[in-house]
Protein backbone atom coordinates (compact mmCIF):
# COMPACT_ATOMS: atom_id res chain seq x y z
CA UNK A 1 0.00 0.00 0.00
CA UNK A 2 2.77 2.46 0.95
CA UNK A 3 4.66 1.67 -2.23
CA UNK A 4 1.53 2.33 -4.33
CA UNK A 5 1.02 5.67 -2.60
CA UNK A 6 4.66 6.56 -3.23
CA UNK A 7 4.32 5.65 -6.91
CA UNK A 8 1.16 7.78 -7.20
CA UNK A 9 2.86 10.74 -5.54
CA UNK A 10 5.89 10.37 -7.83
CA UNK A 11 3.68 10.17 -10.92
CA UNK A 12 1.79 13.24 -9.73
CA UNK A 13 5.09 15.07 -9.18
CA UNK A 14 6.26 14.23 -12.71
CA UNK A 15 2.89 15.31 -14.15
CA UNK A 16 3.04 18.57 -12.18
CA UNK A 17 6.57 19.16 -13.44
CA UNK A 18 5.50 18.60 -17.05
CA UNK A 19 2.49 20.93 -16.66
CA UNK A 20 4.66 23.61 -15.04
CA UNK A 21 7.18 23.37 -17.89
CA UNK A 22 4.39 23.64 -20.48
CA UNK A 23 2.98 26.71 -18.72
CA UNK A 24 6.46 28.20 -18.53
CA UNK A 25 7.06 27.67 -22.26
CA UNK A 26 3.61 29.12 -23.06
CA UNK A 27 4.45 32.21 -21.02
CA UNK A 28 7.75 32.56 -22.87
CA UNK A 29 5.92 32.23 -26.20
CA UNK A 30 3.38 34.85 -25.14
CA UNK A 31 6.11 37.26 -24.06
CA UNK A 32 7.93 36.59 -27.32
CA UNK A 33 4.77 37.36 -29.27
CA UNK A 34 4.32 40.64 -27.41
CA UNK A 35 7.95 41.59 -27.99
CA UNK A 36 7.65 40.71 -31.68
CA UNK A 37 4.47 42.76 -31.98
CA UNK A 38 6.18 45.74 -30.31
CA UNK A 39 9.15 45.50 -32.69
CA UNK A 40 6.78 45.25 -35.64
CA UNK A 41 4.82 48.31 -34.57
CA UNK A 42 7.93 50.42 -33.91
CA UNK A 43 9.41 49.45 -37.28
CA UNK A 44 6.22 50.30 -39.18
CA UNK A 45 5.74 53.59 -37.33
CA UNK A 46 9.27 54.67 -38.26
CA UNK A 47 8.85 53.58 -41.89
CA UNK A 48 5.44 55.23 -42.29
CA UNK A 49 6.66 58.50 -40.73
CA UNK A 50 9.75 58.48 -42.96
CA UNK A 51 7.77 57.76 -46.12
CA UNK A 52 5.21 60.46 -45.31
CA UNK A 53 7.95 63.04 -44.74
CA UNK A 54 9.60 62.09 -48.05
CA UNK A 55 6.27 62.28 -49.82
CA UNK A 56 5.49 65.66 -48.31
CA UNK A 57 8.96 67.05 -49.08
CA UNK A 58 8.53 66.02 -52.69
CA UNK A 59 5.36 68.09 -52.98
CA UNK A 60 6.48 71.31 -51.22
CA UNK A 61 6.09 73.31 -54.43
CA UNK A 62 2.37 72.59 -54.40
CA UNK A 63 1.91 73.55 -50.74
CA UNK A 64 0.92 77.05 -49.59
CA UNK A 65 1.69 78.15 -46.05
CA UNK A 66 2.83 81.30 -44.28
CA UNK A 67 5.43 81.55 -41.51
CA UNK A 68 4.52 84.30 -39.03
CA UNK A 69 6.86 85.27 -36.14
CA UNK A 70 5.49 85.08 -32.62
CA UNK A 71 5.44 87.87 -30.05
CA UNK A 72 8.86 87.71 -28.24
CA UNK A 73 7.19 88.40 -24.93
CA UNK A 74 5.38 85.06 -25.13
CA UNK A 75 8.58 83.01 -25.59
CA UNK A 76 10.02 81.50 -22.33
CA UNK A 77 13.63 82.34 -21.48
CA UNK A 78 14.75 78.70 -21.66
CA UNK A 79 12.98 78.00 -24.94
CA UNK A 80 15.03 77.01 -27.96
CA UNK A 81 12.26 77.52 -30.50
CA UNK A 82 8.55 77.88 -30.26
CA UNK A 83 5.94 78.21 -32.93
CA UNK A 84 2.18 78.34 -33.03
CA UNK A 85 0.95 75.95 -35.63
CA UNK A 86 -2.75 76.35 -34.92
CA UNK A 87 -5.16 76.25 -37.84
CA UNK A 88 -8.86 75.91 -38.06
CA UNK A 89 -8.55 72.16 -38.52
CA UNK A 90 -5.40 71.22 -36.58
CA UNK A 91 -4.43 71.67 -32.94
CA UNK A 92 -1.07 73.07 -31.82
CA UNK A 93 1.97 70.79 -32.23
CA UNK A 94 5.35 71.64 -30.62
CA UNK A 95 7.27 69.49 -33.16
CA UNK A 96 7.51 71.50 -36.34
CA UNK A 97 8.47 68.51 -38.47
CA UNK A 98 5.57 66.36 -37.27
CA UNK A 99 3.20 69.26 -37.63
CA UNK A 100 4.18 69.98 -41.21
CA UNK A 101 4.10 66.29 -42.15
CA UNK A 102 0.71 65.87 -40.50
CA UNK A 103 -0.81 68.98 -42.06
CA UNK A 104 0.47 68.50 -45.57
CA UNK A 105 -0.01 64.71 -45.56
CA UNK A 106 -3.68 65.40 -45.05
CA UNK A 107 -3.85 67.11 -48.44
CA UNK A 108 -2.03 64.22 -50.09
CA UNK A 109 -4.34 61.73 -48.38
CA UNK A 110 -7.40 63.59 -49.61
CA UNK A 111 -6.05 63.20 -53.12
CA UNK A 112 -5.02 59.55 -52.42
CA UNK A 113 -1.38 60.29 -53.30
CA UNK A 114 0.30 58.27 -50.51
CA UNK A 115 1.73 55.12 -52.18
CA UNK A 116 2.26 51.83 -50.28
CA UNK A 117 5.16 50.56 -52.40
CA UNK A 118 7.91 52.59 -50.63
CA UNK A 119 6.55 51.55 -47.24
CA UNK A 120 6.52 47.91 -48.31
CA UNK A 121 10.02 48.14 -49.76
CA UNK A 122 11.47 49.59 -46.57
CA UNK A 123 9.52 47.07 -44.48
CA UNK A 124 11.06 44.16 -46.37
CA UNK A 125 14.52 45.63 -45.84
CA UNK A 126 14.30 46.94 -42.28
CA UNK A 127 12.16 44.43 -40.35
CA UNK A 128 14.56 41.88 -38.84
CA UNK A 129 12.05 39.02 -38.82
CA UNK A 130 10.63 39.54 -42.30
CA UNK A 131 11.66 36.01 -43.46
CA UNK A 132 9.41 34.57 -40.76
CA UNK A 133 6.29 36.23 -42.15
CA UNK A 134 3.82 33.96 -43.97
CA UNK A 135 1.58 36.71 -45.35
CA UNK A 136 0.74 40.35 -44.73
CA UNK A 137 -1.32 43.23 -46.03
CA UNK A 138 -0.96 47.02 -45.97
CA UNK A 139 -3.70 49.55 -46.54
CA UNK A 140 -4.49 53.25 -46.28
CA UNK A 141 -7.95 53.68 -44.80
CA UNK A 142 -10.28 56.62 -44.44
CA UNK A 143 -12.70 56.00 -41.63
CA UNK A 144 -13.91 52.45 -42.41
CA UNK A 145 -13.25 52.44 -46.16
CA UNK A 146 -10.04 51.28 -47.85
CA UNK A 147 -8.34 53.75 -50.18
CA UNK A 148 -5.30 51.64 -51.13
CA UNK A 149 -4.23 48.12 -50.21
CA UNK A 150 -1.41 45.70 -50.88
CA UNK A 151 -1.25 41.93 -50.20
CA UNK A 152 2.00 39.94 -50.02
CA UNK A 153 2.40 36.20 -49.56
CA UNK A 154 0.90 32.96 -50.83
CA UNK A 155 -2.90 32.99 -50.56
CA UNK A 156 -2.57 36.26 -48.66
CA UNK A 157 -6.11 37.44 -49.37
CA UNK A 158 -7.55 34.13 -48.16
CA UNK A 159 -5.34 33.96 -45.06
CA UNK A 160 -5.97 37.60 -44.11
CA UNK A 161 -9.69 37.55 -44.83
CA UNK A 162 -10.27 37.00 -41.11
CA UNK A 163 -9.00 40.16 -39.41
CA UNK A 164 -8.52 38.17 -36.18
CA UNK A 165 -5.61 36.28 -37.77
CA UNK A 166 -2.11 37.48 -36.99
CA UNK A 167 -1.08 40.88 -35.66
CA UNK A 168 -2.93 44.09 -36.57
CA UNK A 169 -1.04 47.39 -36.46
CA UNK A 170 -2.98 50.68 -36.76
CA UNK A 171 -1.05 53.96 -37.22
CA UNK A 172 -2.98 57.27 -37.41
CA UNK A 173 -2.01 59.54 -40.34
CA UNK A 174 -2.65 63.25 -40.54
CA UNK A 175 -4.22 65.40 -37.88
CA UNK A 176 -7.95 64.97 -38.33
CA UNK A 177 -8.12 61.33 -37.23
CA UNK A 178 -9.87 60.32 -40.46
CA UNK A 179 -6.93 58.49 -41.99
CA UNK A 180 -4.84 55.58 -40.79
CA UNK A 181 -2.28 53.07 -41.96
CA UNK A 182 -3.34 49.44 -41.30
CA UNK A 183 -1.00 46.45 -41.43
CA UNK A 184 -2.04 42.84 -40.80
CA UNK A 185 0.83 40.36 -40.40
CA UNK A 186 0.66 36.57 -40.00
CA UNK A 187 3.89 34.89 -38.88
CA UNK A 188 4.94 31.36 -39.72
CA UNK A 189 3.93 28.90 -36.96
CA UNK A 190 7.54 27.79 -36.48
CA UNK A 191 8.94 31.18 -35.52
CA UNK A 192 8.11 30.91 -31.83
CA UNK A 193 9.28 27.32 -31.48
CA UNK A 194 12.51 28.19 -33.31
CA UNK A 195 13.16 31.22 -31.12
CA UNK A 196 12.40 29.18 -28.01
CA UNK A 197 14.22 26.04 -29.10
CA UNK A 198 16.82 26.28 -26.34
CA UNK A 199 14.17 26.88 -23.67
CA UNK A 200 12.06 23.96 -24.89
CA UNK A 201 15.13 21.71 -25.08
CA UNK A 202 16.17 22.71 -21.55
CA UNK A 203 12.66 21.96 -20.25
CA UNK A 204 12.58 18.59 -21.99
CA UNK A 205 16.02 17.63 -20.66
CA UNK A 206 15.06 18.74 -17.13
CA UNK A 207 11.84 16.68 -17.24
CA UNK A 208 13.69 13.61 -18.56
CA UNK A 209 16.47 13.86 -15.96
CA UNK A 210 14.08 14.39 -13.05
CA UNK A 211 11.84 11.56 -14.29
CA UNK A 212 14.86 9.24 -14.54
CA UNK A 213 15.95 10.28 -11.05
CA UNK A 214 12.49 9.63 -9.60
CA UNK A 215 12.21 6.29 -11.38
CA UNK A 216 15.69 5.34 -10.11
CA UNK A 217 14.72 6.32 -6.56
CA UNK A 218 11.46 4.40 -6.83
CA UNK A 219 13.30 1.35 -8.15
CA UNK A 220 15.76 1.61 -5.25
CA UNK A 221 12.97 1.96 -2.70
CA UNK A 222 11.10 -0.96 -4.24
CA UNK A 223 14.26 -3.08 -4.17
CA UNK A 224 14.86 -2.18 -0.52
CA UNK A 225 11.23 -2.90 0.31
CA UNK A 226 11.48 -6.30 -1.37
CA UNK A 227 14.71 -7.05 0.49
CA UNK A 228 13.15 -6.05 3.80
CA UNK A 229 10.11 -8.18 3.03
CA UNK A 230 12.35 -11.13 2.17
CA UNK A 231 14.37 -10.62 5.37
CA UNK A 232 11.17 -10.41 7.35
CA UNK A 233 9.82 -13.66 5.92
CA UNK A 234 13.17 -15.39 6.43
CA UNK A 235 13.50 -14.21 10.03
CA UNK A 236 9.86 -15.05 10.75
CA UNK A 237 10.35 -18.55 9.37
CA UNK A 238 13.57 -19.13 11.29
CA UNK A 239 12.15 -17.78 14.54
CA UNK A 240 9.02 -19.88 14.10
CA UNK A 241 11.10 -22.99 13.44
CA UNK A 242 12.94 -22.47 16.74
CA UNK A 243 9.77 -23.24 18.69
CA UNK A 244 9.85 -26.98 18.01
CA UNK A 245 13.46 -27.67 19.09
CA UNK A 246 12.97 -25.44 22.15
CA UNK A 247 9.87 -27.41 23.11
CA UNK A 248 11.86 -30.61 22.66
CA UNK A 249 14.72 -29.27 24.86
CA UNK A 250 12.22 -28.12 27.50
CA UNK A 251 10.65 -31.58 27.59
CA UNK A 252 14.05 -33.30 27.90
CA UNK A 253 15.07 -30.95 30.73
CA UNK A 254 11.83 -31.74 32.53
CA UNK A 255 12.55 -35.47 32.23
CA UNK A 256 16.14 -35.01 33.44
CA UNK A 257 14.97 -32.87 36.35
CA UNK A 258 12.39 -35.44 37.36
CA UNK A 259 14.82 -38.37 37.22
CA UNK A 260 17.78 -36.57 38.80
CA UNK A 261 18.23 -37.55 42.48
CA UNK A 262 20.75 -34.82 43.36
CA UNK A 263 19.36 -31.46 44.50
CA UNK A 264 22.18 -29.45 42.93
CA UNK A 265 21.64 -30.91 39.47
CA UNK A 266 17.87 -30.57 39.88
CA UNK A 267 18.42 -26.85 40.48
CA UNK A 268 20.59 -26.61 37.37
CA UNK A 269 17.93 -28.32 35.23
CA UNK A 270 15.26 -26.05 36.72
CA UNK A 271 17.27 -22.93 35.79
CA UNK A 272 17.86 -24.26 32.31
CA UNK A 273 14.11 -24.90 31.92
CA UNK A 274 13.38 -21.33 33.04
CA UNK A 275 15.77 -19.92 30.43
CA UNK A 276 14.28 -22.10 27.69
CA UNK A 277 10.77 -21.01 28.73
CA UNK A 278 11.90 -17.38 28.73
CA UNK A 279 13.33 -17.79 25.22
CA UNK A 280 10.15 -19.50 24.01
CA UNK A 281 8.02 -16.65 25.36
CA UNK A 282 10.29 -14.12 23.66
CA UNK A 283 9.86 -15.94 20.35
CA UNK A 284 6.07 -15.65 20.70
CA UNK A 285 6.42 -11.91 21.28
CA UNK A 286 8.69 -11.54 18.25
CA UNK A 287 6.28 -13.46 16.04
CA UNK A 288 3.40 -11.26 17.19
CA UNK A 289 5.44 -8.13 16.43
CA UNK A 290 6.35 -9.40 12.95
CA UNK A 291 2.70 -10.11 12.15
CA UNK A 292 1.66 -6.60 13.19
CA UNK A 293 0.61 -4.52 10.16
CA UNK A 294 1.85 -1.20 11.54
CA UNK A 295 5.25 -2.75 12.40
CA UNK A 296 5.17 -1.01 15.79
CA UNK A 297 6.20 -2.71 19.03
CA UNK A 298 3.42 -3.22 21.54
CA UNK A 299 4.95 -2.32 24.88
CA UNK A 300 3.52 -3.77 28.10
CA UNK A 301 5.15 -1.89 30.96
CA UNK A 302 5.98 -3.69 34.17
CA UNK A 303 8.52 -3.10 36.96
CA UNK A 304 11.89 -4.08 35.49
CA UNK A 305 14.81 -4.71 37.88
CA UNK A 306 17.62 -3.22 35.81
CA UNK A 307 20.44 -3.93 38.27
CA UNK A 308 19.45 -7.54 38.88
CA UNK A 309 18.95 -8.34 35.20
CA UNK A 310 22.33 -6.84 34.26
CA UNK A 311 24.03 -9.12 36.81
CA UNK A 312 22.16 -12.19 35.54
CA UNK A 313 22.94 -11.39 31.90
CA UNK A 314 26.63 -10.81 32.66
CA UNK A 315 26.86 -14.18 34.44
CA UNK A 316 25.26 -15.85 31.41
CA UNK A 317 27.75 -14.10 29.12
CA UNK A 318 30.62 -15.43 31.24
CA UNK A 319 29.39 -18.94 30.44
CA UNK A 320 28.92 -18.15 26.72
CA UNK A 321 32.31 -16.41 26.39
CA UNK A 322 34.15 -18.72 28.79
CA UNK A 323 37.46 -18.06 27.06
CA UNK A 324 37.38 -14.39 28.04
CA UNK A 325 38.32 -12.85 31.36
CA UNK A 326 35.23 -10.66 31.87
CA UNK A 327 35.22 -7.93 34.52
CA UNK A 328 32.26 -5.63 35.09
CA UNK A 329 30.89 -3.12 37.56
CA UNK A 330 27.34 -1.89 38.17
CA UNK A 331 26.50 1.43 39.78
CA UNK A 332 24.61 1.95 41.97
CA UNK A 333 24.84 -1.31 43.88
CA UNK A 334 21.26 -1.12 45.12
CA UNK A 335 18.37 -2.24 42.96
CA UNK A 336 17.19 0.10 40.19
CA UNK A 337 13.62 -0.51 39.09
CA UNK A 338 12.41 0.82 35.74
CA UNK A 339 9.03 0.87 34.07
CA UNK A 340 9.63 -1.15 30.91
CA UNK A 341 8.49 -4.12 28.89
CA UNK A 342 10.41 -7.02 30.49
CA UNK A 343 10.77 -9.00 27.26
CA UNK A 344 11.70 -6.21 24.86
CA UNK A 345 13.82 -4.14 27.24
CA UNK A 346 15.64 -7.26 28.39
CA UNK A 347 16.52 -7.94 24.74
CA UNK A 348 17.78 -4.35 24.46
CA UNK A 349 20.04 -4.63 27.54
CA UNK A 350 21.26 -8.10 26.55
CA UNK A 351 22.22 -6.95 23.05
CA UNK A 352 24.25 -3.99 24.34
CA UNK A 353 26.05 -6.13 26.92
CA UNK A 354 26.65 -8.97 24.45
CA UNK A 355 28.16 -6.54 21.89
CA UNK A 356 30.36 -5.00 24.59
CA UNK A 357 31.80 -8.41 25.53
CA UNK A 358 31.99 -9.69 21.95
CA UNK A 359 34.02 -6.74 20.60
CA UNK A 360 36.28 -6.16 23.63
CA UNK A 361 39.07 -8.67 23.09
CA UNK A 362 40.18 -11.28 25.66
CA UNK A 363 39.82 -9.07 28.74
CA UNK A 364 36.56 -7.15 28.49
CA UNK A 365 35.88 -4.50 31.13
CA UNK A 366 32.31 -3.20 31.31
CA UNK A 367 31.01 -0.35 33.39
CA UNK A 368 27.23 -0.25 33.76
CA UNK A 369 25.65 2.78 35.41
CA UNK A 370 22.20 4.21 36.06
CA UNK A 371 21.70 7.82 37.14
CA UNK A 372 18.76 10.15 37.05
CA UNK A 373 18.03 13.86 36.80
CA UNK A 374 14.80 15.85 36.81
CA UNK A 375 13.81 14.71 33.32
CA UNK A 376 15.59 11.51 32.33
CA UNK A 377 17.00 8.23 33.57
CA UNK A 378 20.47 7.71 32.06
CA UNK A 379 21.53 4.10 31.48
CA UNK A 380 25.16 3.81 30.33
CA UNK A 381 27.05 0.79 29.00
CA UNK A 382 30.81 1.47 28.66
CA UNK A 383 33.40 -0.99 27.36
CA UNK A 384 37.10 -1.13 26.51
CA UNK A 385 36.57 -2.59 23.03
CA UNK A 386 37.95 -1.64 19.64
CA UNK A 387 35.60 1.34 19.28
CA UNK A 388 33.55 2.64 16.37
CA UNK A 389 34.78 5.03 13.66
CA UNK A 390 33.18 8.47 13.54
CA UNK A 391 31.76 7.88 10.06
CA UNK A 392 29.97 4.72 11.23
CA UNK A 393 28.47 6.02 14.47
CA UNK A 394 25.26 7.33 12.83
CA UNK A 395 24.94 4.28 10.58
CA UNK A 396 25.21 1.48 13.14
CA UNK A 397 21.55 1.89 14.12
CA UNK A 398 20.42 1.23 10.53
CA UNK A 399 18.91 -2.12 9.78
CA UNK A 400 21.33 -4.64 8.20
CA UNK A 401 24.28 -2.23 8.45
CA UNK A 402 27.64 -3.78 9.40
CA UNK A 403 30.42 -1.34 10.30
CA UNK A 404 33.25 -3.91 10.07
CA UNK A 405 32.53 -6.42 7.32
CA UNK A 406 36.08 -7.76 7.44
CA UNK A 407 35.68 -9.00 11.02
CA UNK A 408 35.49 -12.74 11.64
CA UNK A 409 32.75 -12.12 14.22
CA UNK A 410 29.25 -12.74 12.94
CA UNK A 411 27.19 -9.57 12.63
CA UNK A 412 23.91 -9.35 10.73
CA UNK A 413 23.24 -5.66 11.41
CA UNK A 414 19.97 -6.35 13.23
CA UNK A 415 20.77 -6.03 16.94
CA UNK A 416 21.37 -2.28 17.28
CA UNK A 417 18.55 -1.40 14.87
CA UNK A 418 16.16 -3.51 16.96
CA UNK A 419 17.62 -2.00 20.15
CA UNK A 420 16.85 1.51 18.91
CA UNK A 421 13.28 0.49 18.03
CA UNK A 422 12.80 -0.86 21.55
CA UNK A 423 14.17 2.33 23.14
CA UNK A 424 11.99 4.52 20.91
CA UNK A 425 8.96 2.39 21.77
CA UNK A 426 9.68 3.30 25.41
CA UNK A 427 9.67 7.02 24.41
CA UNK A 428 13.43 7.10 24.90
CA UNK A 429 16.61 7.88 22.99
CA UNK A 430 19.87 6.03 22.44
CA UNK A 431 23.25 7.53 21.56
CA UNK A 432 26.85 6.38 21.25
CA UNK A 433 30.20 7.98 22.03
CA UNK A 434 33.23 6.15 20.75
CA UNK A 435 36.81 6.43 19.56
CA UNK A 436 38.70 3.79 17.62
CA UNK A 437 40.78 1.56 19.95
CA UNK A 438 39.42 3.36 23.02
CA UNK A 439 36.07 1.67 23.53
CA UNK A 440 32.46 2.81 23.31
CA UNK A 441 29.75 4.19 25.58
CA UNK A 442 26.11 3.54 24.69
CA UNK A 443 23.63 5.69 26.62
CA UNK A 444 19.87 5.19 26.87
CA UNK A 445 17.69 8.11 27.98
CA UNK A 446 14.26 7.19 29.36
CA UNK A 447 11.74 9.87 30.38
CA UNK A 448 11.50 9.89 34.17
CA UNK A 449 7.87 11.00 34.22
CA UNK A 450 6.78 7.85 32.41
CA UNK A 451 8.62 5.68 34.92
CA UNK A 452 6.89 7.51 37.78
CA UNK A 453 3.53 7.29 35.99
CA UNK A 454 3.73 3.51 35.78
CA UNK A 455 4.67 3.19 39.42
CA UNK A 456 8.14 1.74 39.71
CA UNK A 457 8.97 0.39 43.16
CA UNK A 458 12.21 2.36 43.49
CA UNK A 459 13.49 5.50 41.84
CA UNK A 460 16.92 6.63 40.74
CA UNK A 461 18.38 9.61 42.53
CA UNK A 462 20.91 11.56 40.44
Range of the domain at 150: 2-194
| CATH (domain of 429) | 3.30.565.10
HEC string of 161-183 equals CCCCCCEEEEEEECCCCCEEEEE
Is the distance from CB of 103 to CB of 95 less than 8 angstroms?
no
Q: Are residues 252 and 304 both part of a single domain?
A: no
Q: Which residue pairs from 360-363 have beta carbons closer than 8 angstroms and sit at least 24 positions apart in sequence? A: 360/324, 360/384, 360/385, 360/386, 360/439, 361/324, 361/385, 361/386, 362/323, 362/324, 362/325, 363/324, 363/325, 363/327
Please name the residues in contact with 377: beta carbons below 8 A apart, sequence gap of 6 or more.
338, 370, 371, 445, 446, 447, 448, 451, 460
Q: Are residues 46 and 153 both part of a single domain?
A: yes
Q: Are residues 265 and 367 both part of a single domain?
A: no
Q: How many domains is the chain partitioned into structurally?
A: 3
Q: Are residues 285 and 189 both part of a single domain?
A: no
Q: Are residues 29 and 134 both part of a single domain?
A: yes
Alpha carbons 422 and 446: distance in angstroms, whole number? 11
Q: Radius of gyration of the chain from Cα atoms?
A: 47
Q: Are residues 187 and 260 both part of a single domain?
A: no
Q: Are residues 111 and 246 both part of a single domain?
A: no
Q: Are residues 145 and 61 both part of a single domain?
A: yes
Residue where a domain stops, chosen among 163, 194, 225:
194
Q: Are residues 48 and 73 both part of a single domain?
A: yes
Residue 212 forms part of a structural domain = no
Q: Are residues 394 and 411 both part of a single domain?
A: yes
Residue 427 forms part of a structural domain = yes
Q: Tens-digit pLDDT profile for the chain (462 aa)? A: 555 676 677 677 777 777 777 777 677 777 777 888 889 999 998 888 888 777 766 555 555 555 566 676 776 666 555 444 444 444 444 444 455 555 567 777 788 888 899 889 999 998 988 888 889 999 999 988 999 999 999 888 888 888 888 889 999 887 778 889 999 999 887 665 565 666 667 777 877 887 788 788 878 878 887 887 777 777 777 777 777 788 888 888 888 888 888 888 888 888 888 888 878 877 777 776 666 655 667 888 999 999 999 999 998 888 788 889 999 999 998 999 999 998 889 989 999 999 999 989 899 999 999 998 888 999 999 999 989 888 888 888 876 666 665 555 555 456 788 899 899 999 999 999 998 888 999 999 999 865 555 544 444 433
Q: Are residues 158 and 248 both part of a single domain?
A: no
Is the distance from CB of 402 to CB of 413 less than 8 angstroms?
yes
Residue 102 forms part of a structural domain = yes
Amino acid sequence: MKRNILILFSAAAIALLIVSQIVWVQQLVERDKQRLETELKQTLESIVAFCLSRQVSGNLDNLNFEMKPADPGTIPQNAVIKGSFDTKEYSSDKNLGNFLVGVFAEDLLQENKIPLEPIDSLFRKEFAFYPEIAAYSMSIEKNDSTMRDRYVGQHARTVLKDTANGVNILIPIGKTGKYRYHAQVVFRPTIFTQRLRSAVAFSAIAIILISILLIYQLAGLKRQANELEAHKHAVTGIVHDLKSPLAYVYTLLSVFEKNEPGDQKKEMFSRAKARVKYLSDKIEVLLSAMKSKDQSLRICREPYNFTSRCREIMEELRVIYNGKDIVYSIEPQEEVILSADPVYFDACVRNLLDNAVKYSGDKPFLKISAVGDDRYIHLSFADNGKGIAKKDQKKIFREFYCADKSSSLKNHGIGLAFTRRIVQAHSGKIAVESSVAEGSVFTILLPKKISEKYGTDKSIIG
